[in-house]
Every structure is written in structure tokens, then in C-alpha cells.
Amino acid sequence: MKNISVIGAGTMGNGIAHVFAMKNYKVNLIDISQASLDKALATIEKNLNRMVAKEKITESDKNATLTNITTYTEMKEGVSNADLVVEAATENVDLKLKIFKQMDDNAPADAILATNTSSISITKIASVTSRPDKVIGMHFMNPVPIMKLVEVIRGYATSDTVCDTIMKLSSDIGKVPTEVNDYPGFIANRILMPMINEAIYSLYEGVAGVEEIDTVMKLGMAHPMGPLQLADFIGLDVCLSIMRVLYDGFGNPKYAPCPLLVNMVTAGELGRKSGVGFYDYSAGGKDWILSPKFKK
């Protein structure tokens, strides 16, 4: 594999493009918005400059990485020579099905089609293509250039050859791939999201406050970030969406999203991305404080 196309220039897409380009793959980064593409390139360059400053890479490495990335606003042109297409669009099932149909129509017949979804069924996504055996999940973690894990998800029809290829490719770009099967939430979010939801329930029921819940998990369980702060980082809307996938997929009441989570999302308090969630990020940068709503 030499040519990688990445669809979606947001946080995950630009991170995936960054990682492949650093390992000397030719990357076509595709988004319908030229402004999003320009912002993605600026983000990648900023992150590379940080690596140069820390002497993790050279100026030459940075320039080579940027040279490896070409941007497109049209999918047909952007995937025409792809060996692998990685979709990293918004976590919306209808949007992903539409994109995969377009990917299937425009990518070479032998190209592997991968999705960065964190919870949507690979089998369902594959069903709209003519090559379900070549559809697979590559769930990168955020921030992509730093986090080592890639959750590799086999759909019902994914071939052994395709799975083996993606496992090896993930290792080749410096990641640690972990193979899982296609059931709601896969492994990462099947375990993580109920923990976050339970932390929100504990707050909702008055068991403990935001800072107390996060402190217990950080100092008692050695988590680098408490579950409520992590929920803010992920996006409360994303957390709610994944909980609904789990609840719909299993029909088990233990996956019912906490009413407090539902209310916060309905009110537009989505965490870091909106400026406020369980914590208040309106000061910008690394400065954040407890949200006034949760002060005692």
C-alpha cells in the first residue's frame, strides 16, 4: 500500500492524514469544505512544528510530511488511485452510508474501504457497497498522532486477507492494532461509555460532585483523566450517540443514557467543543474550571 485517501478533514481526519504522511505514504485528504482543508493543513503543520521544537523530528522530516499530503474537495478525484480509503466523517450513520456508497463507486475495485467509526456497525456500512469483504473498521484514538491504539473491527463479511493487511499496516505506521468483532460499541466504547454514563448517573443522583468523581478515578484508579472531564473532551453529544447505539443494539436498560446527559446535550452544553460541559472552558487554551452549574 502506498496511496491513502482520508475523507473528512476534522480532528480525526487530519490526525490520520498526519500519521500516514509521516510514515511516507502519499495521502489525499478530502473534504467538501476548502476552509476545513486549509485549517487541517495548518493544524498538521502546527503539530509538526511542536515535534521539531521537541527534537522528535527534523525540519526535513516536517517538510517531507507536508509534501506527502494533497487536498481535494471532490471525492472522485481524491480516491481514484487509492489503495486504502479511510472515512473519518461525523459519527452519523446516514452520512457514513452515503459516503461509503460514493467511496465504493469511485475507488479502485481492489481498494480497501475503512471507517474510523467508534460505534456504528461495520456490517451495516459494508451493506451499501459492492465489496463488503473489503470493508473494515479502523478506530483511531484522539489525538491520533499521540495515541497508540487502533481498534481494528471486522465486519460480518470482512475477509481474513483484508483484516491481516490492516493489522500489519497499523503496525507499520507505529500503532498497536487490536482485532475485535462487530458488535455495538466494539470493545473500547462498550466498556468506556457505560463507565462515563455511570459517572454521570452518580452526579445526577447526588452521590458525589464532578471534581470528587474525577478525583476518585484519577487517584484511585490511575486514570489520566476523570470520566466527566473525558466526556467533555470526547463531546457529550458523541457520548450520548454511542450510548444510544448500545441501548438500541442490545435492548438492555443498563445502557440507557442518563437523563442529565440527555438534558445537557439538548441544552447545547457539549463539553470542550461548546465551551462548557461539566467544566467551563470559555477561558480558552488549557485554562478550565468547574462549570458554575455544578458548584456546591
Is residue 116 packed enough to be buried (19+ CB in 10 Å), middle (13-18) or exposed (0-12)? buried
Q: Cite the active site residues.
A: 118, 139, 151, 189
Q: Contact 89/111 with Cβ under 8 angstroms?
A: no
Q: Which residues contact 75 (CB under 8 A, 6 or more apart)?
A: 7, 30, 99, 102, 103, 106
CA distance 27 to 4: 5
Q: Which residues contact 81 (CB under 8 A, 6 or more apart)?
A: 3, 108
CA distance 104 to 113: 8
Kindly list the distances between the CA atom of residue 183 and the CA atoms of 32, 82, 194, 234, 248, in Å, as whole numbers in the listed order: 31, 28, 15, 21, 12
